[in-house]
Amino acid sequence: MKPAEAIDDIADAPPEPRSALVRAFAVFNANKTSWVGVIVFGAIVAMAALAPLISPYDPIEQDIIARLQPPSAEHWFGTDMFGRDVLSRVIWGSQISLIVSIASIAVALLVGGTIGLVSGYIGGRTDLLIMQAMDVLLSFPSLIMGLIVVAMLGPDLINLIIAIALTAVAPFARIARAPTIVLKERAFVEAGRALGFSHIRIVLVHILPNLLAEVLVMGSLWMATAVRVEASLSFIGLGVRPPTPTWGGMINEGFENILDAPWLSIYPGLAILILVFALNMLGDGLRDATDPKLRGE
Amino acid sequence: MASGNATETVLSVKGLSKTFVTKRGFPNPVTVTVRAVDDVSFAVRAGEAFGLVGESGCGKSTTGRALLRLIEPDRGAVTYRGQDVLAASGAELRALRRKLQIVFQDPYASLNPRRGIGETLAEPMRVHKMGDRAQIAERVKSLLAEVGLPPSAADKYPHEFSGGQRQRIGIARALSVDPELIVADEPVSALDVSIQAQVLLLLRDLQARRGLSYVFVAHDLGVVRFFCQSVAVMYLGRIVESGPVEEVFNQPAHPYTTVLRQASPVPDPRAKSIAVRIEGEVPSAANPPQGCHFHPRCPNAMPVCKTVYPAWTQLTPTRGVACHLHTPAGS
């Protein structure tokens, strides 16, 4: 078998020598706030993981004699009305915030992403019906939706995760559906059909990897929302039950003494603020990095 | 050009039609019906390159896709070596998919950007169980060599290649399942002229070496004249003239073919261009003119052309035309 004509596509040099990943990193790296997000989020994850080692006191053990002490060298963030160390409770509270937000977004991403992918690929009337159902879900504000679900199922960790996941299913379905509709018309998908590939193979091997980045980026941005909703639900008493420390719950507990002991609510409030900011900065950086219109210089 | 019986018909298309229906407008939607492919019939012989030409929107690409069932046609019959393509399903259809392949116009959209070239070429062979891992790896190398790419290409990704190289990869992917007929949908129109020639020569080389037949969809008459042995000219979803390339382009029977040929530049500075002016735009396929679709733009239009679509007239065993100028009775 003689090889075909020798190739000299010199006039036809490759247009884009850099790989997508290298370009994405350059964009991410160009904006330093992205790195602030990475570092702060990393620090909070480390804090949650190392809570038993780094927290100075037991977060649950009460010490009534030392109640409502202002911040001091002994108790950096002061103590609450049961004499529990606020710093230790903030450190331990990060666990609940992270577990709930990561787990609920993972569930929402999996369920919503699958719905969007399948709906967009099938198209037609089925797609229309599924997406209208998603619009109904979307019309509930996150907090109201969480409220309804937790009120129905009862407040505990798993129900909290289900409630928050449910509020984020519709957005993920939409985010996964849009690129699916574009990708299924692309010639490489048509080539797969011409080659006799199954629909499952086309969806999983040829469509999914091309929209995964977009969906994952959205996940990091929605995690910030999940943190907020978790804190809000805990604040109104529909979160994880006391005495387990949660940031939202701590703000609530500190509320009745807000004038005498403002540190009870301020420190967990700051913790929520910092985590949400970090996630948003990280998510913005990732979103820009996967935006094909931006090129890192 | 091909070995074996050159007059044997491999692909026969009869009365193929595809209508797209859309509803537009609110609150009173209007149903718009576009007859993209309207009663199209042709036959492709073994080892032949059969051209489908026409302006954009004339339904030539839809025809190519419908006969592969990438778009399900509404009516008609497609027979490949005696097998009914449109009725095939399951294992039968999978077997047909191996025999009939497609090469796409846009080399940038035709490759999955996140898959390595080696994977892209090996996947069809794995799906069709065409050998073990080592055999498939070996076949990937030989496919790359066959389309003129180095073996190292297997480890690279689409973005590392130029348009012409990507088109070679697209061709290699089509070849991976050892097809007998390839629908080439404007395979060179997205490429630079210098690259076009290389890719056309590769396709012609494969035609000779593998005995491939092509359905070659194009709008460039020069390319069709160079590449094809037979041609069908399409206008608004219908074939208006067909026959051997030399005959059709040298002595066009249909006024549209004449106009099309004169609109195509001749690479000779001394050649005087006798511009036959073509009047007006291509009418909307959603609302084609009564009678012969071409009559509003036709220099030879007669009264009958406005009311009756001309019947297909066979001029010679290989040539036919749909034009009242050639209708025997004249009417």
pLDDT in tens, B189-227: 989 888 999 999 999 999 999 999 999 999 999 999 999
Find out whether A60 and A40 touch, Cβ atoms under 8 Å.
no
Owner of token pair 């999914």: A208
Residue A12's pLDDT is what?
A: 52
User: Out of B97, B123, B205, whose CB is closest to A4?
Assistant: B205
Q: Indicate whether B1 belongs to any domain.
A: no
User: In this complex, do B195 and A11 lie within 8 Å of one another by their Cβ atoms?
Assistant: yes
For chain B, strand residue ranges (E) read 9-24, 30-45, 49-53, 75-80, 83-84, 100-103, 181-185, 213-218, 230-235, 238-244, 313-316, 319-321
Q: Return d(Cα A100, Cα A156) in angstroms, integer.
A: 11
**A1 to chain B: nearest residue by CA?**
B146
Average pLDDT over every residue of A97-118: 93
pLDDT tens-digit map of B60-78: 999 999 999 999 999 999 9
Please report residues of B whose CB lies closer than 8 A to that of A209: 112, 114
| DSSP state for residue B107 in the 8-state scheme | T
Q: Return d(Cα B62, Cα B54) in angstroms, integer.
A: 12
pLDDT tens-digit map of B19-45: 998 887 778 888 888 889 999 999 999
Please report residues of B whose CB lies closer than 8 A to that of A1: 142, 145-146, 209
pLDDT tens-digit map of B282-307: 777 788 888 899 988 888 888 999 99
A279 has pLDDT over 50: yes
Please report residues of B whose CB lies closer than 8 A to that of A186: 109
pLDDT tens-digit map of A81-96: 887 888 889 999 899 8
Could you tell me the CA-to-CA distances from A164 to A282, B79, B109, B128 in Å, in that order?
21, 56, 38, 44
**A206 to chain B: nearest residue by CA?**
B112
Closest alpha carbon to B202 in B158, B169, B179, B230:
B169
User: In this complex, do A5 and B205 lie within 8 Å of one another by their Cβ atoms?
Assistant: yes
Residue B289's pLDDT is what?
A: 86
Find out whether B212 and B180 touch, Cβ atoms under 8 Å.
yes
User: In this complex, do A7 and B165 lie within 8 Å of one another by their Cβ atoms?
Assistant: yes
Q: Indicate whether B149 belongs to any domain.
A: yes
User: In this complex, do B162 and A14 lie within 8 Å of one another by their Cβ atoms?
Assistant: yes
Closest alpha carbon to A150 in A225, A243, A238:
A238
Owner of token pair 């390839």: B182
CA distance B326 to chain A (A): 39
User: In this complex, do B110 and A7 lie within 8 Å of one another by their Cβ atoms?
Assistant: no
Mutate to test the interface with B, among A2, A7, A189, A210 (most CBs of B within 10 A): A7
pLDDT tens-digit map of A190-219: 999 999 999 999 999 999 988 888 888 888
User: In this complex, do B147 and A193 lie within 8 Å of one another by their Cβ atoms?
Assistant: no
User: Out of B160, B195, B205, whose CB is closest to A9?
Assistant: B195
For residue A136 the two structure tokens come to: 């109904």
Could you tell me the CA-to-CA distances from A181 to A121, A175, B120 in Å, in that order?
6, 11, 22
CA distance A131 to chain B (A): 20
Per-residue burial over B281-312, b = 16 or more CB atoms within 10 Å of its CB, e = otherwise: ebeebeebbebbbbbbbbeebeeebeeebbeb
Find out whether A254 and A82 touch, Cβ atoms under 8 Å.
no
For A35-69+77-289, CATH number out of 1.10.3720.10, 1.10.10.10, 2.20.25.90, 3.90.550.10 equals 1.10.3720.10
Count: domains in chain B: 1
- Cross-strand bridge partners of residue B53: B218, B233
**B157 to chain A: nearest residue by CA?**
A19
For chain A, which residues lie within 8 Å of any Cβ of chain B, measuring from their own Cβ?
Answer: 1, 3-7, 9, 11-17, 19-20, 186-188, 190-191, 193-197, 201, 205-206, 209-210
Q: Return d(Cα A253, Cα A60) in angstroms, integer.
A: 14
B103 has pLDDT over 90: yes
Mutate to test the interface with B, among A186, A188, A189 (most CBs of B within 10 A): A188
* Residues 225-254 (B) with a CB less than 8 A from some CB of A: none
Find out whether B163 and B153 touch, Cβ atoms under 8 Å.
no
User: Out of B104, B142, B206, whose CB is closest to A187?
Assistant: B104
Q: Return d(Cα B112, Cα A190) in angstroms, integer.
A: 11
**What ipTM score was computed for the predicted complex, to two decimals?**
0.86
Mutate to test the interface with A, among B159, B168, B180, B191 (most CBs of A within 10 A): B159
CB atoms within 10 A of CB B320: 21
Find out whether A59 and A84 touch, Cβ atoms under 8 Å.
yes
* Residues 129-158 (B) with a CB less than 8 A from some CB of A: 142, 145-149, 157
Average pLDDT over every residue of A284-293: 77
- Cross-strand bridge partners of residue B327: none
Q: Report the CATH number at residue B227.
A: 3.40.50.300
A2 has pLDDT over 50: no
Owner of token pair 């609302």: B287
Q: Indicate whether B77 belongs to any domain.
A: yes
Average pLDDT over every residue of B105-128: 92
User: In this complex, do B110 and A201 lie within 8 Å of one another by their Cβ atoms?
Assistant: no
Please report residues of A whose CB lies closer than 8 A to that of B105: 187
User: Out of B104, B105, B113, whose CB is closest to A210?
Assistant: B113
CA distance A157 to chain B (A): 38
Please report residues of B whose CB lies closer than 8 A to that of A206: 112, 115
User: Out of A7, A194, A197, whose CB is closest to B102?
Assistant: A194
User: In this complex, do B146 and A12 lie within 8 Å of one another by their Cβ atoms?
Assistant: no
- % of chain B with per-residue pLDDT over 90: 63
pLDDT tens-digit map of A47-70: 989 988 888 888 887 877 878 788
Find out whether B49 and B216 touch, Cβ atoms under 8 Å.
yes
Q: Which residues contact B51 (CB under 8 A, 6 or more apart)?
A: B216, B217, B218, B224, B227, B228, B230, B231, B232, B245
User: In this complex, do B128 and A196 lie within 8 Å of one another by their Cβ atoms?
Assistant: yes
- % of chain A with per-residue pLDDT over 90: 33
Residue A133's pLDDT is what?
A: 94
CA distance B176 to chain A (A): 9
Q: Indicate whether B2 belongs to any domain.
A: no
User: Out of B65, B148, B160, whose CB is closest to A3?
Assistant: B148
Please report residues of A whose CB lies closer than 8 A to that of B124: 195-197
